[in-house]
Amino acid sequence: MAKTKKEQPAFEQLLEQLEQTVTELEQGRLTLEQMLEKYAAGVDTLRVCRGILQQAAQTLPQEAREEELWS
């Protein structure tokens, strides 16, 4: 039986969230407390995005070697 992973949004969705967060912060219409909350959420989203990219970077070269594309 396959292990079930916690469902997470796609990289593209996370990137959209991050872009929206940056836009809201740049507009300057939030209170300081709201800005800090948005910033913290953006940092968390960025960490998830980096994790996805690191995982992809580890996976792709291995798959390519299996297909003998790097020989």
Examine the pLDDT at 7 and tell me if it is beyond 80: no
pTM of the full structure:
0.71
pLDDT tens-digit map of 28-59: 999 999 999 999 999 999 999 999 988 887 88
- Domain map of the chain by residue range? 11-22+30-66
Q: What is the pLDDT of residue 4?
A: 47
Residues whose CB falls within 8 Å of the CB of residue 46, separated by 6 or more in sequence, listed in order: 18
Give CA–CA dist 71/61, Å, rounded: 12
